[in-house]
């Protein structure tokens, strides 16, 4: 497995739009089309395609929150249904944590997940995130110190 992050551009945006999760997972993650529009019209959102060499396997996005002392968070993670249960989610989160640490330095880094999403909870805990006890937009907040 060779995880790479690539910017979304004219060559790969359609492929990114077409990535899908399983029907029962749709309530836990926004469609990539929405996330890309949010990143385009929003501020301080950084969408990235997840590749294994030259195969797009998923999507990840992080944000910088200027209103909260420039705190940073992973606000999206999805692995296409054809590539799930192969370790891409965990490898992608670990790669993002390394990327953030190298680019921005040591800091607290956040994510959140729906309380019913036990798969996400297990994944995030396995890489070192700890629940903070906070709830944001009906999602549980988790933090890791980089």
**119 located within any domain:** no
Considering the domain boundaries, does residue 111 fall inside one? no
* pLDDT tens, residue by residue, 112-136: 999 999 999 999 999 999 999 999 8
102 part of a folded domain: yes
DSSP assignment, residue 81? G
In a domain, 120, yes or no: no
Residue pLDDT, tens place only, 15-25: 999 999 999 99
User: How much is the pLDDT for 71?
Assistant: 83
Residue 143 lies in a domain: no
Beta bridge partners of 61: 47, 76
Asked whether residue 116 is domain-assigned, the answer is: no
Q: Is residue 132 domain-resident? A: no
Q: Which residues contact 8 (CB under 8 A, 6 or more apart)?
A: 16, 36, 47, 48, 49
Does residue 70 carry a pLDDT above 70?
A: no
Cβ 6 vs Cβ 55: under 8 Å: no
CATH number of residue 45's parent domain: 3.40.630.30
CA-to-CA distance for 104 and 15, rounded, in angstroms?
29
The answer to pTM > 0.85 is yes
Range of the domain at 64: 3-106
* HSE toward the beta carbon, residue 97, CA cutoff 13 A: 18
* Length of the chain measured in residues: 146
Overall number of domains in the chain: 1
- 136 lies in some domain: no
142 to each of 66, 81, 117, 127, 132, how far by Cα in Å?
19, 25, 13, 11, 5
β pairing state of 71-79 and 108-113 = parallel
Q: In the structure, what pLDDT confidence band is assigned to residue 66 with cuts at 50, 70 and 90?
A: confident
Q: For residues 57 and 34, what is the distance between their CA atoms, to the nearest angstrom? A: 18
């Amino acid at each position: 497995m060779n995880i790479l992050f690539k910017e979304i551009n004219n060559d790969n945006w359609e492929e990114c739009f077409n990535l899908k999760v399983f029907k029962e997972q749709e309530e836990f993650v926004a469609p990539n089309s929405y996330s890309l529009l949010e990143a385009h019209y929003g501020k301080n959102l950084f969408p990235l395609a997840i590749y294994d060499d030259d195969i797009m396997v998923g999507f990840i996005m992080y944000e910088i929150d200027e209103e909260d002392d420039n705190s940073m968070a992973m606000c999206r993670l999805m692995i296409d249904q054809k590539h799930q249960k192969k370790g891409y989610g965990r490898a992608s989160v670990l790669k993002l944590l390394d990327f953030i640490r190298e680019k921005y330095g040591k800091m607290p880094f956040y994510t959140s997940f729906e309380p019913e999403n036990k798969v996400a909870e297990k994944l995030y805990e396995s890489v070192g995130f700890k629940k903070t006890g906070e709830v944001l937009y009906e999602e549980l907040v988790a933090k890791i110190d980089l």
